[in-house]
Amino acid sequence: MADIIQLLPDSIANQIAAGEVVQRPASAVKELMENSIDAGATHIRVIVKDAGKSLLQVIDNGKGMSETDARMSLERHATSKIRKAEDLFQLRTMGFRGEALASIAAVSQVEIKTRLADQELGTLLLVEGSDVKRQEPVACENGTSISVRNLFFNIPARRNFLKSNSVEMRHVIDEFFRLALANPHIGLSLLQGDEVVYDLPAAKLSQRVVALFGKNYQQQLAPSQEQTSLVKITGYVGRPELAKKTRGEQFFFVNSRYIKNNYLHHAVMSAYEGLLPDNSFPFYVLMLEIDPRHIDVNVHPTKTEIKFDDERAIYAVVWSAVKQALGAHNLVPAIDFHADVNLTSKLSEKKLTNEQYFEEQFATSINQSNLKHWEKMFDLESNSRLFAQPARPSELIFESAINQPNEPHLNTVDEGGIFQHQQKYIVRAGRNGLMIIDQQAAHERVLFEKYLLQLRSKPGHSQQSLFPQTVALAAADFALVLEMEKEITALGFRFEVFGKNSLLVSGLPADVKMGEKELFEGLVEQFKKSQAELELPLQEGLARAMAKRTGLRSGQKLTVEEMEALAQSLMACNIPNFSPEGNPTFFTLNTSKIESYFNR
């Protein structure tokens, strides 16, 4: 039998490696920017066209490469950081595997210009699908410029998996944000075509945060710092009341490398316990400095996941750092943005030990838990008389209209047999029993089907705003809105681009009683939250977000006419039984069930 095992050609091996390292244009931006950081650059410029599909270029003023190094950088596993296996546990650079440039060159057309500071001429390399087409001396600036054109040109199937330009641009911006936060000492700029998206001078971390996220963050940041023999933590956390309903503004960096770690995120959320609104996420940027011997970054192709040799100890220090920052924020309402993060707090002299903080935390949790149990007992007593103990004759109280406040009788049965219970439920009498409707879930179902119809076939009407408002968005959110412009307009919004990452909202959907800024920003946040929880088709996700944002809430009083209209609209829905989230909208308490309680 003939031998069947053979070595892969380098070109195919590089394409396979590219599948792990380069998923989309943003992946290439990340790898090239990290190379520039490792080269000691003090300024890095990123240029993208068509969200990086046709061109992405990274230019730095780092130390550059010699002719030999430039050629070697295109070989797989060619690296300047590793000489022996032990070096893997002493890494302080961003890249070390030597796969990035080779992988990018395998699936694109690459031009490299690089020059050492002490050389008069640099080196030009033209590569196409791992094949070096040209190599020659060239006059160029000190540092390195790498242009990547036509990403995935030789893998059409892979290129077809790329999303729209606005989606891919959001991913590019996400990577740019992470590296900009991790390296505030480096000047960075991002250009989309000829438009400057960001131009960030070298600065302190607090100034970099404000430059990226907006001036409103200047008043919500609290400095966070803690140092032990194992790890040093610096950074900032946001005020609890300004937490958002969506993830995306939570950043951990270990030795200036962005990481994802749910365990450490839990530590932060535990420190915020009792301070956050339900289902919300606070802003934080936390920098962990730790001896590389205590971590392993070589566990994921993109190196966003790492292992700690003592994760529980890191958890405790992160919890303590955030807890102290939140406590100090009440004493220091604003930050001196001209001071360094390591000098902004003098509370280190009054630090409690980790054990004392945990004792305080557990005591607080126990007290809150007991309070909740007591509240549940009273709720049970007041809301469920079927299972309550019979009252003594002396305690029986018959309510009379004379004892009621002189208000409209919204919670009493009217001639049509409908009333509101606890301003949460609509109770409607029928021949076969009582229908109990959850007003919030029901209204969301009605609105969801209404907005879905508008998106699919019948665009909604718009009401012109008397005073159009400007809405400033984060760059990623701005790109998201432009991607959904047609759909958002179909809902009844009217808006236009009004400067950098800003929109002028001049019209809102008819019958919506909400301010332009509040509704527009809320819709974007709700859409992001829905998509993070459950990826849905665009139209369905947008209709769901709009229904959630504009629907009734528990606690709103309704007139009899409003209750009747809602009940009838619900019954006219295609799927009246469930809300868009899958929760029941109503249930029927049959007369036979009611009679069973009275032994009939």
The DSSP-derived string for 257-320 is EEE--HHHHHHHHHHTTTTSPTT-B--EEEEEEE-GGGEE-TTSTTS---EETTHHHHHHHHHH
Q: What is the mean pLDDT of residues 271-290?
A: 89
Asked if pLDDT for residue 150 goes beyond 90, the answer is: yes
Tell me whether residue 375 is in a domain: no
The residue with tokens 């919300």 is 280
Please tell me what DSSP assigns to residue 200.
E
Same domain, 139 and 75: yes
Report yes or no on whether pTM surpasses 0.85. no
Same domain, 19 and 123: yes
Q: Is 397 helix (H, G, I), strand (E, B) or coil?
A: coil
Same domain, 340 and 439: no
Same domain, 105 and 40: yes
Same domain, 260 and 183: no
Same domain, 61 and 160: yes
Here the CATH number for the domain that contains residue 568 is 3.30.1540.20
Same domain, 543 and 415: yes
Asked if pLDDT for residue 399 goes beyond 90, the answer is: no
Q: Among 322-336, 366-380, 481-495, where is mean pLDDT lowest?
A: 366-380
Question: What are φ and ψ of residue 240, in 5° steps?
Answer: -60, -40
pLDDT band for 3, please (50, 70, 90 cuts).
Answer: confident
How many percent of the chain have pLDDT more than 90? 39
The residue with tokens 């990226």 is 212
| Lookup: tokens for 318 | 């992160």
| Stronger pLDDT, 120 or 375, i.e. the higher one | 120
| CB 233, CB 317: distance < 8 Å | yes
| CB 175, CB 34: distance < 8 Å | no
Q: Where does a domain end: 200, 231, 264?
A: 200
Here the CATH number for the domain that contains residue 231 is 3.30.230.10
Q: How many domains does the chain have?
A: 3
Rounded Cα distance, 44 and 33, in Å:
7
Same domain, 142 and 209: no
How many percent of the chain have pLDDT more than 70? 78
Q: Is 336 helix (H, G, I), strand (E, B) or coil?
A: coil
| CB 292, CB 306: distance < 8 Å | no
Tell me whether residue 384 is in a domain: no
Tell me whether residue 402 is in a domain: no
DSSP H or E stretch at residue 82: none
Tell me whether residue 125 is in a domain: yes
Q: Judging by beta carbons within 10 Å of its beta carbon (0-12, 13-18, 19+), is residue 246 exposed, middle or buried?
A: buried
What is the predicted pLDDT for the residue at 92?
59
pLDDT tens digits, residue range 250-263? 999 999 999 988 99
The rounded mean pLDDT for the chain is 80
Same domain, 320 and 214: yes
Q: Where does a domain end: 304, 327, 351?
A: 351
Q: Where does a domain end: 171, 200, 229?
A: 200
Rama region for 598: left / alpha / beta (φ>0; ψ in -120 to 50; rest): alpha
Same domain, 301 and 262: yes
What residue numbers bound the domain in which 561 lies? Answer: 408-600
Tell me whether residue 147 is in a domain: yes
Rounded Cα distance, 528 and 474, in Å:
13
Among 50-59, 149-158, 268-277, 392-401, the range with the most confident prediction by mean pLDDT is 50-59
Rounded Cα distance, 544 and 536, in Å:
10
Residues in contact with 481: Cβ distance below 8 Å, sequence separation at least 6, in sequence order: 473, 488, 503, 524
Asked if pLDDT for residue 449 goes beyond 90, the answer is: yes
Q: What is the mean pLDDT of residues 391-420?
A: 44
What is the predicted pLDDT for the residue at 90?
57
Same domain, 69 and 116: yes
What is the predicted pLDDT for the residue at 402?
33
DSSP H or E stretch at residue 192: strand 187-192
Rama region for 248: left / alpha / beta (φ>0; ψ in -120 to 50; rest): left
Please tell me what DSSP assigns to residue 219.
G
Q: Nearest-CA neighbor of 286 among 317, 316, 318? A: 318
Same domain, 534 and 571: yes
Tell me whether residue 392 is in a domain: no
Tell me whether residue 363 is in a domain: no
Residues in contact with 530: Cβ distance below 8 Å, sequence separation at least 6, in sequence order: 536, 541, 544, 545, 548
Here the CATH number for the domain that contains residue 84 is 3.30.565.10
Tell me whether residue 359 is in a domain: no
Q: Is 530 helix (H, G, I), strand (E, B) or coil?
A: helix
Q: Judging by beta carbons within 10 Å of its beta carbon (0-12, 13-18, 19+), is residue 134 exposed, middle or buried?
A: exposed
What is the predicted pLDDT for the residue at 79?
63
Return the ∠ at Cα 101 (arms to 98 and 107), rounded to 5°: 130
| CB 141, CB 117: distance < 8 Å | no
